[in-house]
Chains A and B, each alone.
Chain A
Amino acid sequence: MQMSGAQMVCEAIIAEGVKTVFGYPGGAIMHVYDEIYKQNGFEHILNRHEQASVHAADGYARATGEVGVAMVTSGPGFTNAVTGLATAYMDSIPMVVISGQVPLSLIGTDGFQEIDAVGISRPCTKHNFLVRTIEELPRVLKEAFYIARSGRPGPVLVDIPKDITVDIGEFAYPESVDIPSYKPTYKGNRRQIEKAVEAIKSAKKPLLYIGGGTVLSNASDLVRELAEKTQIPAVETLMARGVMGAKNPLLLGMLGMHGNYASNMAMSETDLVISLGARFDDRVTGKLSEFAKYADVIHVDIDPANIAKLVDVDYPIVGDVTQVLEKMIPLLDDVNTDRYQAWREILKRYDELHPQSYVDSDEVIKPQWAIERLGELVGVDAIITSDVGQHQMWAAQHYPFDRPRQWINSGGLGTMGFGFPAALGAKRAFPEKTVINITGDGSILMNMQELVTAAEYKIPVINVILNNHFLGMVRQWQTFFYEKRYSETDLTFQPNWKALAEACGGIGYDVTTKEEFDAALKDAIKQDKVCFMNVAVNRFEDVLPMVPAGGALFNMMLPQKKHGEEK
């Protein structure tokens, strides 16, 4: 069928089954927006900043597992989208971003709103395309979606010069893709898997190290099955919260810089690390030479470049976690679970010695209490997004995440301003679910214009602002490592949160007591409108345990014990 490039873009989005596109128009992309106006195969949401559009598409992708789509114009539209691309890239999120570009004849002339989008985005996309002819456009669109979701997923940018969106060409959306130079490995090598199984059977202190790759691969059920069958204890990374399930007796907790005592000690003492879709990030490992010092390492990862990048690996298995576990689990029928009994008991004792805890207060709301309370009130049904800072770590530590894709946060890039727009994407994908963004008084302002978007499109996400009147995480480092010189982190000057939310068409709640917290949350859920819950929390609470950057995992700063708990 003959059609314009702009129509092809819409047809491809429809053919890919995308229901919601997030974006912002401008000169170079106007033909595409004209076609969006005419079609009804998908809805378009006008965010109030391109960064938010990309984060929203990202949140949609993380919540559903499908490719998220964002659309922006050339020049500043594209540069505003870069943080969104980088955020998705670091966490391997499948996404296609379509950007307008100046007409082909103007490329290279410093034309109005011309910027080298493929050049800028090269290091923060899985791949990118500058479309050069109308003939290649259908194939490029198909490949973009394919590359985004296959192998190790990631964001793909398609930069389309304006004249190509006007050109007429033949459109037949390709059924399949053949890129001879791109053939991801999904099946793990059987021989390697067998060797790894032997290692598991002869280990005394094995440990499952579960990363975000298990979420991307939808491997949660298999991971739980592996743990259950072998009775091997497990630790989750920040990106894997929810995979094992909140009440799973084999789950020790989260490991890393703000991991709990038992998890970090387990990693320090294990004799066999079974890494599933994790990538040994420095926030997880601490000092590398001390990390899992006594252990052999099984490393399952779809990206060969992740394997042996940071630690030496004894049993490398390149493949999709799901496919590898499907082969591995049956080989473990005769595993002797008693073998690990002594190890489980040691870890249990560690957890009793220093449980994940905090000292609650009757005078002021503790941020950890607020998160636990959220867990009690909305629990497994809600989707939780977060921004970046202390609130993010407390959420990861204290919320009872019970299923994968319940917890959506920017782990790799650590992007403040991610949570609110990502929540919009998640809520659009699952309108029946309560979606809560746990945020701070710093982060929320970095995309607060989305109040308007949320009000206009009636996307009722709840922003719980754990308000410590500080850039709390930076303040914490200043307390510990900069002799309390609070350089540019004091946020005593505050907006009127309630008025701000209301001015944009939302609801605001000022919360200072536990009773008010419960009441505000109940009302927010009932009102079904975007809201800011401004929760005053104590200013100087620290995220603990903490492994100072570059320190060994077993050297943790631990929380004070609760009264009466000293043994």
Chain B
Amino acid sequence: MAKATNERRVVSVVVMNESSVLARVTALFAGRGYNIESLTVAPIPGSDMSHITIATNGSTKVIEQITKQLHKLIPVYKVIEHEEMVEKEMVLVKFPIAENLSDISVLCAAYNGGVVNVGKEMIITMVADEPMRIKHFIEAAQRYNPCEIVRGGVVAIER
């Protein structure tokens, strides 16, 4: 029996590089009422294809439909519903320079990141880690009055 409970899933979609392929993928989600939690896309080096990573959620049945419907799109070459994966996400956070910079850099280091830019009034840090750890990092960063947070969306690769 299909589970009725919602679960988070990461799906990789390998597509032919065509002008409206991303629109086809996102329109499918919108039109059929599926959720997109995050979406990243970039060309696959040395090929005429791109890799789209979509984090979504839904029941087992919905996820199964998502993969099948994606596969039906003509320019979709491959759909991978990740089971055993390495999943990473990146976040950029801007802090006022007046904050405790050594604390901030220790915090970033604890999450596999560091300071990537220092300006007159701001410093910018970057962290790349598992999505759950990114969430924790952002929570911890609140103490230092971040003025801007930009998350990158997940990328995943099957182990």
* Residues of chain A having any CB pair with chain B under 8 Å: 118-119, 122-123, 126-127, 130, 132, 147, 179-182, 303-305, 308-309, 312
Contact = CB atoms under 8 A, between A and B. Distances in A.
A147 B74 contact: yes
A181 B77 contact: yes
Interface stretch (B19-27, B113-121, B143-151): B19-27
Given A119-B23, A122-B24, A181 B16 contact: yes
Contacts of A118: 20
Contacts of B61: 308
Given A132-B19, A181-B75, 10 more contacts: A118-B20, A122-B24, A147-B74, A179-B74, A180-B16, A305-B68, A305-B69, A308-B61, A309-B65, A312-B1
A116 to B, nearest CB: 10
A486 B69 CA distance: 41
A303 B72 contact: yes
B31 A123 contact: yes
Nearest to B16: A181
A130 B19 contact: yes
Contacts of B20: 118, 122, 130
Interface of B: 1-2, 15-16, 19-20, 23-24, 27, 31, 61, 64-65, 68-69, 71-72, 74-77
The 9 closest A-B pairs by CB, nearest first: A305-B68, A181-B77, A127-B74, A123-B31, A182-B74, A304-B68, A181-B16, A305-B69, A122-B27
Contacts of A132: 19
A312 B59 CA distance: 14
Contacts of A127: 74
Contacts of A130: 19-20
Contacts of A119: 23
A89 to B, nearest CB: 12
Contacts of B27: 122-123
A19 to B, nearest CB: 27
24 contacts: A118-B20, A122-B24, A123-B27, A123-B31, A126-B74, A130-B19, A130-B20, A132-B19, A147-B74, A179-B74, A180-B16, A180-B77, A181-B15, A181-B16, A181-B74, A181-B76, A182-B74, A303-B72, A304-B68, A304-B71, A305-B65, A305-B69, A305-B71, A309-B68
B68 to A, nearest CB: 4
Contacts of B77: 180-181
Contacts of A181: 15-16, 74-77
B72 A305 contact: yes
A289 to B, nearest CB: 12
A308 B23 CA distance: 26
Contact of A122 (B23, B68, B69): B23
Contacts of B24: 122
Nearest to A119: B23
Nearest to B64: A308
Contacts of B1: 312
Contacts of A304: 68, 71
B18 to A, nearest CB: 9
A176 to B, nearest CB: 16
Contacts of B31: 123
A122 B75 CA distance: 13
B34 to A, nearest CB: 13
A305 B31 CA distance: 15
Contacts of B16: 180-181
Nearest to B72: A305
Contacts of B15: 181
**Most chain B beta-carbon contacts within 10 A, residue among A132, A181, A308:** A181
A272 B74 CA distance: 34
A308 B60 CA distance: 12
B20 to A, nearest CB: 6
**Most chain A beta-carbon contacts within 10 A, residue among B61, B64, B74, B75:** B74
Nearest to A123: B31
A92 B19 CA distance: 25
Nearest to B75: A181
A312 B19 CA distance: 37
Nearest to A124: B31
A544 to B, nearest CB: 34
Nearest to A304: B68
Contacts of B19: 130, 132
A127 B18 CA distance: 13
B80 to A, nearest CB: 14
Contacts of B64: 308
A181 B71 CA distance: 9
Nearest to B30: A123
A181 B23 CA distance: 17
Contacts of A122: 20, 23-24, 27
